[in-house]
Amino acid sequence: MDDSAPELASAWSRVRARLAAGARTAPGLRPAADPAALDAYGATLGRPLPAELRAWWLLPDVPAGYWLPGEFSPFALPEALAYLEIQLQVAAAEGESFDAQGRPEPRYLPEFLPIADGPGGDTLFVDLRPGADHGAVRLWDHETWQLDLPWWPSVTAMLLDVAGALETGAPVLLGHRALGGSAPPATVTGFDAYGGLEWVELEGS
């Protein structure tokens, strides 16, 4: 395991322990990324990846089931890069357009590195654009292409949120909602038959 991001490693250890203890069946595993492939992607951006994001990709034995909030499953790096390439091709084919207020409509960008895939076609990605949200985890809605506020400020924050939900039953995404985000908080209700987590959105949230 990459030891350059100790807080992420600690958060992942907590999540992994709870997943291993509660799953009824052993899920498939997402393979650790090839460091050279991470370096190559960083080179396309002209800057290295954040240490914690690199550490996330290098984690071994990450379950590939739908255990992230929103029923998202971690991408393997080759899958993530293939998805990114497809989205960039779609963005290029669409060309530039503007909404009713004359603002450029959103397009998938090279700085949007997907980390997890949802059953409905949406993805979670890490925003690697310079600025206050650099490194934040966001939702890409494949239908609207609209960017909501970040779900978490970092991959580490994502794992800490999941760890708290597994250990204490606390809802996830409270920070996102407090800032005005649209994703509802949710709690873990159990494990599915494939080693993933079952999440339920809080009513009235």
> In the predicted model, is pLDDT for residue 99 greater than 70?
no
- Predicted confidence at residue 76, as pLDDT, reads 97
> 198: which strand partners?
190
Residues 95-107, mean pLDDT to the nearest whole number? 65
- Predicted confidence at residue 4, as pLDDT, reads 67
Question: Strands, E, within 31-172: which ranges?
Answer: 62-63, 73-74, 112-117, 123-127, 136-140
Q: Which of the two residues, 2 and 52, has the higher pLDDT score?
A: 52
The count of domains in the chain is: 1
Instruction: Return the percentage of the chain with pLDDT > 70, whole number.
Output: 91
Instruction: Look at residue 90 and tell me if it is in a domain.
Output: yes
Structural domain boundaries enclosing 140: 6-94+104-201
Average pLDDT, the chain: 91
Q: In what order do the strands lie in the sheet with 136-140?
A: 73-74, 112-117, 123-127, 136-140
Residue 114 contacts residue 101 (beta carbons within 8 Å): no
Instruction: Look at residue 140 and tell me if it is in a domain.
Output: yes
Amino acid at 66: Y
Instruction: Look at residue 1 and tell me if it is in a domain.
Output: no
Instruction: Return the percentage of the chain with pLDDT > 90, whole number.
Output: 74
Among 47-51, 97-101, 103-107, which stretch is predicted with the lowest mean pLDDT?
Answer: 97-101
Question: Which residues touch 122 (CB under 8 Å, ≥6 apart)?
Answer: 70, 72, 139, 140, 141, 142
Q: What are the pLDDT digits (tens) for 11-59?
A: 999 999 999 888 777 678 999 999 999 999 999 999 899 999 999 999 9
- Predicted confidence at residue 192, as pLDDT, reads 87
Closest alpha carbon to 13 in 73, 168, 21, 175: 21
pLDDT tier for residue 155 given thresholds of 50, 70 and 90: very high
Amino acid at 29: L
| CATH number for the domain that contains residue 117 | 3.40.1580.10
pLDDT tier for residue 1 given thresholds of 50, 70 and 90: low
- Predicted confidence at residue 127, as pLDDT, reads 97
Instruction: Look at residue 99 and tell me if it is in a domain.
Output: no
- Virtual torsion, Cα 60, 61, 64, 69, nearest 10 deg: -80
Closest alpha carbon to 88 in 111, 57, 119, 122: 111
- Predicted confidence at residue 204, as pLDDT, reads 66
- Cα–Cα dist 198/193, whole Å: 10
Amino acid at 155: V
Residues 70-77, mean pLDDT to the nearest whole number? 96
Q: What are the pLDDT digits (tens) for 156-191?
A: 999 999 999 999 999 999 999 999 999 999 999 999
Quote the pTM value: 0.92
